[in-house]
Amino acid sequence: MTKSSTEIKTLKNYIGGQWIEAQTEKYEDVPNPATDQTIARVPLSTPNDIDIAVKEATKAFAVWSKTPVPKRARILFRYQQLLVEHWDELARLITVENGKSYKEAYGEVQRSIENVEFAAGAPTLMMGEQLTEIASGLDSAMYRYPVGVVAGITPFNFPMMVPCWMFPLAIACGNTFILKPSERTPMMAQRLVELFNEAGLPQGVLNIVHGAHDAVNGLLEHKGIKAISFVGSQPVAEYVYRTAAQNGKRVQALAGAKNHTIVLPDADLDLAVEQIIGAAFGSAGERCMACSVVVAVGDIADELVFRLKEASDQIRIGNGLNEEVFLGPLIRESHRQKTLGYIESGVKQGAQLVRDGRLDSVEENGYFVGPTIFDQVSTEMTIWKDEIFAPVLSVVRVNTLTEAIELTNQSRFANGACIFTDSASAIRQFREEIDAGMLGVNIGVPAPMAFFPFSGWKDSFYGDLHANGKDGVNFYTRRKMVTVRM
Ligand code: NAD
């Protein structure tokens, strides 16, 4: 049954502590991807809306940047507590608007809370450094200051975690923030701001402007915004990086991925299969740390492919709110169609389709594709080159670890890479020779915790300072050096 139009919530922007309508005629429907039912309408805001938000955030910055750091941290402690209290509600909201399973959504809430916990360490994180006697009678000290109004532009695949990579730390460092959430998963932002308000955050410190490319361009070009944090697909990341830099802003732009997992003949196959299934098909493959290519080394390939197929046949597909479901829908029907096109291209280009996720039937009306596995994939094929961002796994066969590393390094992307082996020398060779920023040994998804940088390389990242950890603190602060003769 479709909701009547009066029941469907039309989202508003949140600016200067008020929920206000966007100055736009353009709205987009937001469907639940598991059911195809419309659950909200999101405004596509304009640069005018951005301008109003920047004015309010600038006003708030004057006060917030001077608010004592321990006082800022205390608000983050209260926020952490409220997020914990609303854990189940937040996880359900993630599943409803994004489609991932409730278990994965629950894990996403945990990762998000960890970012708030890290940011609550602001008094330590914001500390400077000093050295006496840098020359006779001279001392030097470094102080940290916030940069000003900061904006975050986020993707659909982690509606809570990726915004939480950005605004808690930026705000803890004394900046004020404008969040432009993904127009495909815009509802979480509202709850995040409501709970932060309940924790005592002053008006204007965190603002939300909904929208798509017009709102993004408004942020990139606005003189009042000093830094841009972006997470999303590669072409948009590159565009955001160039445009924001051209406009004199600091920018960190985290982009797409094509993560390879190398499996050596001495690997614990039970562990490898379990971890690869989770990494390839969890969150319907819509993860920047998803495993999308397995590189099978030597004579393990036949057994590995057989067992991956066997394990993926057991996967339950459907609405993620059903606790038995492992694989939810893709985010939109258009993305499903694109994925079907990739599967077709794999078949046409000569890969061997071991498991065809197009044949899985699901009772729900959403945008489902079942687990899909290709064997005998080669680097000329489109399914090897492109980020598909769906439950489609490619297996490439090689003879040696050196070949596996060379093949992995041919990818333009370099977010993560994993290896399954018991050999210390293989692990060392992998660590030293792989061109990627986040490595896993005998683990499927090596996503760093909040206190380490999320450090993609090559076309998976544009900028200098990554998100999270000390990089995040450096990105959201300016340093002042003071040299004193006394
Ligand atoms: P996307 O690039 O389509 O959208 C990201 C953001 O950019 C959204 O807020 C969107 O409104 C905006 N946007 C989209 N097109 C734009 C345009 N033409 N001009 C200006 N702004 C535009 O990405 P997505 O589909 O929402 O997210 C999935 C992508 O994000 C995947 O490529 C995934 O690998 C990547 N991702 C990367 C990381 C990482 O840490 N490297 C983390 C999560 C997701």
- Is 387 known as a binding-site position? yes
**Are residues 237 and 65 in contact, defined by beta-carbon separation less than 8 angstroms?**
no
Per the annotation, the verdict on 288 as an active-site residue is: yes
Residues 289 and 223 in one domain: no
Residue-wise pLDDT for 288-346, tens only, equals: 999 999 999 999 999 999 999 999 999 999 999 999 999 999 999 999 999 999 999 99
Say if 246 falls within a structural domain: yes
In this prediction, residue 5 carries a pLDDT of 52
Q: Are 447 and 289 in contact (CB under 8 A)?
A: yes
The CATH code of the domain that includes 233 is 3.40.605.10
Of ligand 1's listed atoms, the one at least distance from the Cα of 331 is: 25
Asked whether residue 77 is marked as a ligand-binding residue, the answer is no
pLDDT per residue as tens digits for the range 340-372: 999 999 999 999 999 999 999 998 999 999 999
Q: Which residue has its alpha carbon closest to ligand 1 atom 30?
A: 232
Q: State whether 271 and 206 are in the same domain.
A: no
Of ligand 1's listed atoms, the one at least distance from the Cα of 255 is: 41
Same-domain status, 391 and 329: yes
Could you tell me how many residues make up the chain?
Answer: 486
Residue 214 shares a structural domain with residue 278 = no
Pair (240, 268) in one structural domain: no
Tokens encoding 305 = 């492919």
CA 93-336-104 angle, 5° bins: 35
DSSP track, 153-200: E--SS-TTHHHHHHHHHHHHTT-EEEEE--TTS-HHHHHHHHHHHHTT
Residues 238 and 337 in one domain: no
Is 369 contained in some domain? yes
Residue 3 lies in a domain: no
Q: Whose CA is nearest to atom 42 of ligand 1?
A: 288
| CA separation for the pair 193, 184 (Å, rounded) | 18
CB-count burial class (<10 Å; 0-12, 13-18, 19+) for 289: buried
Are residue 271 and residue 242 in the same domain, yes or no?
no
Joined together, the tokens standing for residue 22 give 């966007």
420 & 374 share domain = yes
pLDDT value at position 2?
47
Is the shortest distance between the CB of 56 and ligand 1 below 6 Å?
A: no
Expressed as residue numbers, the domain containing 37 is: 9-256+456-485
Q: Are residues 272 and 172 in the same domain?
A: no
Ligand 1 within 6 A of CB of 460: yes
The reply to whether 143 falls in a domain is yes
Residues 311 and 361 reside in one and the same domain: yes
Q: Residue 31 domain-assigned?
A: yes
Structural domain includes residue 1: no
At residue 173, φ and ψ (nearest 5 deg) are -80, 0
Q: What is the pLDDT of residue 1?
A: 40
Task: Tell me how far the alpha carbon of residue 154 lies from the centroid of ligand 1, in angstroms.
Answer: 6
Here the tokens at position 460 are 């998976």
231 Cβ closer than 6 Å to some ligand 1 atom: yes
- The secondary structure element, H or E, covering residue 261 is strand 259-263
Residue 75 lies in a domain: yes
**How many domains is the chain built from?**
2
CA of 156 to the centre of ligand 1 (A): 7
Residue 68 tokens read as: 């004592």
Query: Which residues of the chain fall short of a pLDDT of 50?
Result: 1-3
H helices present in 173-300, as ranges: 187-198, 213-221, 234-246, 269-281
Q: Would residue 141 count as lying in a domain?
A: yes
**One domain for residues 121 and 132:** yes
| Ligand 1 close to Cβ of residue 468 (< 6 A) | no
Please tell me the predicted confidence (pLDDT) of residue 7.
72
Q: What is the CATH number of the domain that holds 286?
A: 3.40.309.10
pLDDT at 8: 86
Q: Is 454 in the pocket of ligand 1 (CB under 6 A)?
A: yes
Distance (Å) from CA 300 to ligand 1 centroid: 36
Say whether both 166 and 266 belong to one domain.
Answer: no
Instruction: Round to whole Å and give the CA distance between 382 and 407.
Output: 15
229 lines ligand 1 (CB under 6 A): no
